Amino acid sequence: MLTTTHIHSVVAAALSEDAPWGDLTSETLIPANAIATARLVAREPGVFSGGAVFTAAMTLTDPTIAVTGSVADGTHFGGRDVLAEIVGPARAVLQAERVALNFVQRMSGIATETARYVAEVAGTHARIVDTRKTTPGLRQFERHAVRCGGGHNHRFSLSDTVMAKDNHLAILTADGQDLTAALLAVRERLSHTTHLEVEVDRLDQIDAVMAAGIDTIMLDNFTPDELLEGVRMVGGRALVEASGNVSLATVGMISRTGVDIISVGALTHSVRSLDLGLDIEVTL
């Protein structure tokens, strides 16, 4: 969940980075009594995310700035829609502008891209989920944006879930221990509330993994035909996650194989920021 405390912490750091000793340009050029009236305007259609973050960038710069009329996160908008209105000291609005836009443009870009993936799997029961391929320090913001686009979140951090991937399994069985036995030993050490997910990259690994009574099996880089066979082999005994090389061109086909979850790193690691702008008028 994206909390006010976390928003303020991240935004305050960004503002300090951008203007460590104030905004020299605005303080030099803009009269102290100038008032700015601004509108956050979409330059292209999309899905909005980051309203609270945008507002925090403004009000943490100057608490007298008022942000009103902000559309709700998750709102679909058109190419010329006004997404929020801002009134306040011109110097402060100009100082906050870049940081506020950087956050809301990236978050809205993630929400918009997620919505495209969600639309491609409509009519199936597959969930679109993100991964840990997020910008360091911005995971809560980016994960919130995925939810705004209709997607879901994977484990938040390494502390949340036991997720055994190929390198973990290689080390776990390095002493010659049977894979099923090794995973059963792992299960014995876990609390009953802890989720256990295991990644496989071949069909012939599925039976050994499923014999350990895991909760989710990840089929990594499987072809659609292999996914169909993998879902059949699991037979409803665990959640089935598809991962690897997922794109807008392939996600619909993947969803129709019967998998429960499709994890998409591209939602956060290579998304394009949406084109939003701040149109400003100044009065003295």
CATH code for the domain of 231: 3.20.20.70
The per-residue pLDDT for range 179-204, each reduced to its tens digit, is 999 999 999 999 999 999 999 999 99
Q: Indicate whether 278 and 205 sit together in one domain.
A: no
Same domain, 102 and 126: no
Tens-place pLDDT, residues 173-184: 888 889 999 999
- At 234-276, the pLDDT tens digits run 999 999 999 998 999 999 999 999 999 999 999 999 999 999 9
The residues annotated as belonging to the active site are 98, 133, 165, 199, 220
- Is the domain of 140 the same as that of 263? yes
Quote the mean pLDDT of the chain. 96
Q: What is the pLDDT of residue 174?
A: 87
pTM of the model: 0.95
Domain count, the chain: 2
Answer yes or no: do 50 and 10 share one domain. Answer: yes
Tell me: do 114 and 134 sit in the same domain.
no
Confidence at residue 109, expressed as pLDDT on a 0 to 100 scale: 98
Q: CATH no. for residue 85?
A: 3.90.1170.20
The reply to whether 148 and 263 lie within a common domain is yes
Whether 131 and 61 map to the same domain: the answer is no
Do 63 and 160 belong together in one domain? no
Residue 105 sits in the same domain as residue 143? no
Segment 224-233 long-range contacts (CB within 8 Å, at least 24 positions apart): 224/253, 224/254, 224/257, 227/254, 227/257, 227/258, 227/259, 228/257, 228/258, 229/203, 230/203, 230/206, 231/257, 231/258, 231/259, 233/203, 233/206, 233/207
Tens-place pLDDT, residues 59-102? 999 999 999 999 999 999 999 999 999 999 999 999 999 999 99
Query: Domain containing 258: what range?
Result: 122-269
